[in-house]
């Protein structure tokens, strides 16, 4: 019967797993585990209360729900929890999801620096440092069981009260055993010194009364001779009346021994105070609505979420940042300042953080958290508080998310480095920075070790910036091939060799029946796909009411309209800093600053009533001071915020006779057969020819997010014709053109009628 039960269990678990998959995200529990699993779901408010000062020994898994190795290990940990659930209350199992923002501090306090981490806490542990790393050979449940038992035996100074003795039984203890212990049965299991069978059966019977289990080693010649034991393991059952019988179990079968002992007459399951695991109920939250996205686009929300997670979660895990780890963090933040084209408010935050890190040689966890708060000194320097996955959203919370956004961020940075750098033969600083970040900060240690192996194998052979783009692309595809079909593979977004033919049909070639990559086409596609003009602001949460100076609320200043990115992230960012200083000056007076903010044409996304100001370049004279409410000086603003729009129109106007596919990084898309351009290269060429457009009018800027790409394409020719002119100028030109056309038509009609009239008069000369 026990064998049949063991065979039937996987089928039942499969049905349970399918049922759980059909539940809403909020009903499946936290992370990779649910309240139906026989273990404790712990968190920031329950971990210390349940584990510390407990009379039970605890084994806790600290994991991250996005970690691929954690997903692979979760079924093993669940199986172990079911296998040792009868060891409670002597041994308890729990889990903590360190990917949850609310658990970040508790995981840091328990010194968790990688995932998954298993820690053993002996009974009556007083502090987080009392937990020791659970070392085991492999991820099998047998190895885990044996490691738990070994740690219990080493806790002689704090033995679990509910746990019976696990040491070897002696002949001296046999005499008078029933007088000293009020039990009806004593089971002796004879085994070799390296066997764990006797100790496992002893723990299996923790919850059962009226029976005791002891192990006898093969080296105990006295007891071996008394019971005439010739094979190991063997079992004997002693009765309180002095009789003895052999236990009818052959071989090393823990389940058979346990089943036999539990069916003995008078053996009953006891009740222990800590017997029932009380899992933490999942929070009652409404699942986020599904975001409909375009796979051809990049989303600023994903890029900012990657930066948020790396700084607030990954770098904040360590109690101290010093030496190589601090150097890697400085290099990473400096790289973001140099190449990331974020919103001005985010770039100010990164520049402030880079400046703060510069002179420091040692940073504690509290200092780092204080620096991330960015209190009050720069009210327009801000980073989102919580991740917002858009293009990287998964079909379930544990899928994609942070790993997807981190790949996207580093792909984007390698492309920006290649597009901005004039020294194409110099080594890539993005690759070296990424390697150091993954080595020192990436939480999934198995993934980090695998990436380090790939880097050590071939990264030194990358000689230029374009080579860095291709190296990262090929290694990403290698990782996708390794993880395809595993637990971490999202069934809705399977890991494929990227880019697919739907995105880039020219990137893949079939030669002699084999599918091959055209690296030149891949490079062109990457420079187009990961260009700044392909970043979209969809689903962004522009938070307002953030506390500012003088105790008042300051609305968020955002210099990005939907689809328009600042050119920032360059070497010095001087223009952005000057703009930031001007904004700061406007906030000196509470009411005055608020009115200035409402009138500013640079605060379109933050204003409650968006306006469309006239765009005319004016001089800094006193006569035009009163016009500043409706006029914005766009001498530099137009280049930063309307660049991509003008480039699209200019590229289309000049495509037929001024561009080649190789010049622009052109990629033909299979779905709609449209062309995609490297707009940064086009912009640079237009500027060199004097066509940069210092005062670019965009009449449809405020409606871009509502009308989408259709209205954008309709307005491209209008914006191209309107380069250098305001709306009034263009309107007047059109009106004058119509008036002149009507005048010409009237003159033509007048002279035509006059000619007919004169022909009809007598005496008119005829030919």
* Long-range interactions of 191-198: CB distance < 8 A, separation 24+: 191/215, 191/216, 191/217, 191/218, 191/232, 191/233, 192/217, 192/218, 192/232, 192/233, 193/217, 193/218, 193/219, 195/232, 195/233, 195/252, 196/145, 196/146, 196/149, 197/233, 197/252, 197/254, 197/257, 198/233
Other beta carbons within 10 angstroms of residue 467's beta carbon come to 20
User: Is 67 assigned a catalytic role?
Assistant: yes
Alpha helices in 175-245 (DSSP H): 177-180, 197-204, 221-226
Residue 414: CB partners within 8 Å, gap ≥ 6? 428, 430, 431, 465, 468, 469, 472, 530
Number of H helices, E strands in the chain: 28, 21
How far is Cα 499 from Cα 485, in angstroms, rounded to an integer? 18
Ranges of beta strands (E only) in 113-207 are 117-121, 132-133, 185-191
Cβ–Cβ under 8 Å, residues 576 and 342: no
Q: Which residues of 187-224 are buried (b: 16+ CB within 10 A; e: fewer)?
A: bbbbbeeebbbbbbbbbbbbbbeebbbbbbbeebeebb
Of residues 750, 341, 263, 405, the one with CA closest to residue 560: 341
Cβ–Cβ under 8 Å, residues 515 and 509: yes
How far is Cα 297 from Cα 304, in angstroms, rounded to an integer? 15
Which residue is catalytic, options 67, 392, 444, 507?
67
Distances (CA, A) of 527 to 63, 465, 646, 661: 36, 12, 19, 13
CA dihedral angle for residue 21, residue 26, residue 31, residue 33, rounded to 10 degrees: -60
- Per DSSP, the residues of 69-106 read HHHHHHHHHHHHHHHTGGGTTTEEEEEEETTSGGGHHH
Task: For 36, list phi and psi in degrees, rounded to 5.
Answer: -75, -15
Which residue is catalytic, options 70, 98, 107, 507?
70
The residues annotated with a catalytic role in the active site are: 67, 70
């Amino acid at each position: 019967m026990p064998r049949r039960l063991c065979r039937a269990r996987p089928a039942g678990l499969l049905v349970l797993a399918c049922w759980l998959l059909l539940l809403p995200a909020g009903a499946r529990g936290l992370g990779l585990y649910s309240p139906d699993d026989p273990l404790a779901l712990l968190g920031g408010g329950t971990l210390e209360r349940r584990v510390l000062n407990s009379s039970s020994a605890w084994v806790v898994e600290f994991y991250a729900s996005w970690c691929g190795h954690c997903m692979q290990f979760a079924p093993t940990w669940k199986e172990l929890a079911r296998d040792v659930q009868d060891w409670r209350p002597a041994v308890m199992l729990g889990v903590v999801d360190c990917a949850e923002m609310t658990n970040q501090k508790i995981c840091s306090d328990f010194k968790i620096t990688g995932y998954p981490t298993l820690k053993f806490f002996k009974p009556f542990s007083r502090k987080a440092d009392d937990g020791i790393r659970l070392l085991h050979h492999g991820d099998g449940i047998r190895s885990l069981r044996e490691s738990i038992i070994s740690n219990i035996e080493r806790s002689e100074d704090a033995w679990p009260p509910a746990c019976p003795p696990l040491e070897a039984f002696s002949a001296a203890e046999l005499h008078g055993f029933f007088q000293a212990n009020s039990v009806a049965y004593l089971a002796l299991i004879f085994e070799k010194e390296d066997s764990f069978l006797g100790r496992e059966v002893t723990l299996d019977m923790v919850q059962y009364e009226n029976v005791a289990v002891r192990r006898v080693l093969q080296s105990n010649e006295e007891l071996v001779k008394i019971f005439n034991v010739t094979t190991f393991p063997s079992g004997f059952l002693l009765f309180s009346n002095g009789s003895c019988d052999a236990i009818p179990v052959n071989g090393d079968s823990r389940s058979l021994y346990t089943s036999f002992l539990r069916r003995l007459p008078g053996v009953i399951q006891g009740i222990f105070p800590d017997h029932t695991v009380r899992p933490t109920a999942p929070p009652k939250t409404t699942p986020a609505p599904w975001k409909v996205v375009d796979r051809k686009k990049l989303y600023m929300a994903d890029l900012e979420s990657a930066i948020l997670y790396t700084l607030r979660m990954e770098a904040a895990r360590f109690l101290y940042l010093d030496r190589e780890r601090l150097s890697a963090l400085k290099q990473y933040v400096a790289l973001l300042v140099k190449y990331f084209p974020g919103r001005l408010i985010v770039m100010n935050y990164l520049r402030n953080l880079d400046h703060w890190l510069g002179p420091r040689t040692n940073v504690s966890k509290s200092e780092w958290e204080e620096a991330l708060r960015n209190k009050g000194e720069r009210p327009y320097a801000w980073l989102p508080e919580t991740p917002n996955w858009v293009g990287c959203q998964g079909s379930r919370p544990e899928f994609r998310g942070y790993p997807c956004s981190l790949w996207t961020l580093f792909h984007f940075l390698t492309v920006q480095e290649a597009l901005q750098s004039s020294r194409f033969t110099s080594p890539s600083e993005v690759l070296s920075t990424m390697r150091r970040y993954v080595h020192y900060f990436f939480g999934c240690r198995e993934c980090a070790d695998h990436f380090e192996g790939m880097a050590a194998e071939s990264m030194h052979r990358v000689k230029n910036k374009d080579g860095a783009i291709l190296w990262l692309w090929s290694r990403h595809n290698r990782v996708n091939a390794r993880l395809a079909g595993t637990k971490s593979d999202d069934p809705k977004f399977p890991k494929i060799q990227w880019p697919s033919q739907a995105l880039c049909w020219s990137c893949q070639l079939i030669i002699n029946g084999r599918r091959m990559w055209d690296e030149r086409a891949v490079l062109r596609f990457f420079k187009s796909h990961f260009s700044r003009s392909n970043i979209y602001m969809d689903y962004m949460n522009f938070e307002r009411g953030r506390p500012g100076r003088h105790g008042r609320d300051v609305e968020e200043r955002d210099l990005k309209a939907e689809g328009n990115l600042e050119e920032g992230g360059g070497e010095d960012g001087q223009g952005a800093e000057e703009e930031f200083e001007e904004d700061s000056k406007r906030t000196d007076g509470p009411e005055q600053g608020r009115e200035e903010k409402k009138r500013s044409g640079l605060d379109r996304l933050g204003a409650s009533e968006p306006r469309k100001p006239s765009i005319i370049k004016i001089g800094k004279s006193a006569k035009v001071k009163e016009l500043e409410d409706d006029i914005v000086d766009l001498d530099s603003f137009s280049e930063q915020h309307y660049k991509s729009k003008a480039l699209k129109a200019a590229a289309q106007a000049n495509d037929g006779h001024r561009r080649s596919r190789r010049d622009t990084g052109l990629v033909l898309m299979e779905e709609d057969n449209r062309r995609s351009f490297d707009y940064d290269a086009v912009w640079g060429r237009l500027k060199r020819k004097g066509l940069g457009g210092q005062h670019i009018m965009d009449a449809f800027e405020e409606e871009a997010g509502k009308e989408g790409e259709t209205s954008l394409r309709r307005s491209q020719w209008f914006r191209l014709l309107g380069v250098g002119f305001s709306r009034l100028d263009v309107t007047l030109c059109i009106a004058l053109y119509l008036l002149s056309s009507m005048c010409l038509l009237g003159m033509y009609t007048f002279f035509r009628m006059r000619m007919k009239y004169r022909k009809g008069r007598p005496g008119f000369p005829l030919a």
